[in-house]
Amino acid sequence: MKNIFDKYKMKNISLKNRVLMAPMTRSRSGGNSIVNNIITNYYEQRATAGLIISEATQISLQGQGYSNTPGIYSEDQINSWKLVTKAVHEKGGKIILQLWHVGRVSSSKVNGLQPIAPSALIAKDTKVYVFNTPTSKDATMIPVESPRAMNKDDLLQVIKEFKQASRNAIDTGFDGVEIHAVNGYLLDQFLRSNSNKREDSYGGSKENRIKLLLEITKKVIEEIGADKTGIRLSPFIKFKDMKDPEILDTFMILAKELNQLDIAYIHLCEADWDDAPQIPEDFRKVLRKKFKNTIIATGGYTLKKANEVINKDLVDIVGFGRYYISNPDLVERFKNNWPLTEIKDSHTLFGGRDEVGYTDYPSYN
């Protein structure tokens, strides 16, 4: 009987258990998107997870969509992340950096730049947040702005930025990178027929719409190796104006191509709200046939549900998000059946510069 506490080997990365700390944007970075000491402490506290996927980290200023999110493109940003990887590794943990470009989900009030996207289509009913002061915990929500359609130079630039960001991540000490292609951001925008209306080789057919993601993946593999490369996808999530009737078929075509590239894993981002759509077991079985390497799933899992999908061999690793906010020792709590701490104040989820609601949640003991 396989369970979540078993050791697991993902390509060349040996994990002490199958518990994953999911990527969660917390907007705690300092000026110029630099990681600070409190962020280092936050990840160090949670290093008993088999694997940590970092919060989404922009690959360029253009790729930023929210205030106070970290970057991986400047020398100062790179050096600041070194403290995080060192702290996690000293605790016996493994950590992967998630590479992010938000595309049209942005505003010039965040980064001073007009958003870019596959097509000049605004994301309906979509907002991003800014903070009025550097230490503020209360965000001001602002609507996204109309993007401009990416030209050839833009496409080449984004491919270059993902490749360079992957090199920066490995040089910083991360165990690998995860290409962010979920939740209505840039690469997800290319995948979907409703947000991608291009008439060139990057739009139209399903095969064309996966082209940019595949080109980026190949460049990342060239730079750091397939064994250090993963991709996160969200075929069942439709918010940020991303409802596409073709996405499941597109996803399976993509999964087959990713299998041929032999990347380390596919990470499924699953909806975690109360009335969220359930992922059919048949979908998981088909994915398992098309993709031979590690499959990770994150989204509203309990310990019981996690063990069920692992034991059925539908998933290899299960991620936990909200539980990890208020339970830094989540693995130990699961093992010992200790009670879980609830999140105390939702205002502390994003923003701020102190430990309140971030690193002040104690371990059970």
Active site residues: 185
- Quick one: how far is CA 26 from the chain centroid? 12
Q: Residue 52 is inside which H or E element, if any?
A: strand 51-58
Spatial CA neighbour of 99 closest among 2, 41, 168, 13: 168
Q: Which amino acid is at 315?
A: V
Cβ neighbours around 79 below 10 Å, total:
12
d(CA 216, CA 33): 23
3 state SS of 9 = strand
Q: Name the residue with tokens 């049209």.
A: 104
Q: Is 149 exposed, middle or buried (0-12, 13-18, 19+ CB in 10 A)?
A: middle
3-state class of 142 per DSSP? Answer: strand
User: Can you point out the beta strands (E) in the chain?
Assistant: 8-10, 13-15, 19-21, 51-58, 95-100, 116-117, 127-131, 139-143, 148-149, 177-181, 229-233, 265-269, 294-298, 317-320
Distance CA 221, CA 218 (A): 5
What six digits make up the tokens of 247?
A: 């996405």
**Are 265 and 9 contacting, i.e. CB atoms less than 8 angstroms apart?**
no
- CB count within 10 Å of CB 198 equals 17
With beta carbons less than 8 A apart as the criterion, state whether 43 and 90 touch. Answer: no
Q: Can you read off the two tokens belonging to residue 325?
A: 């906010």
Task: Give the Cα separation of 141 and 143 in Å (integer).
Answer: 7
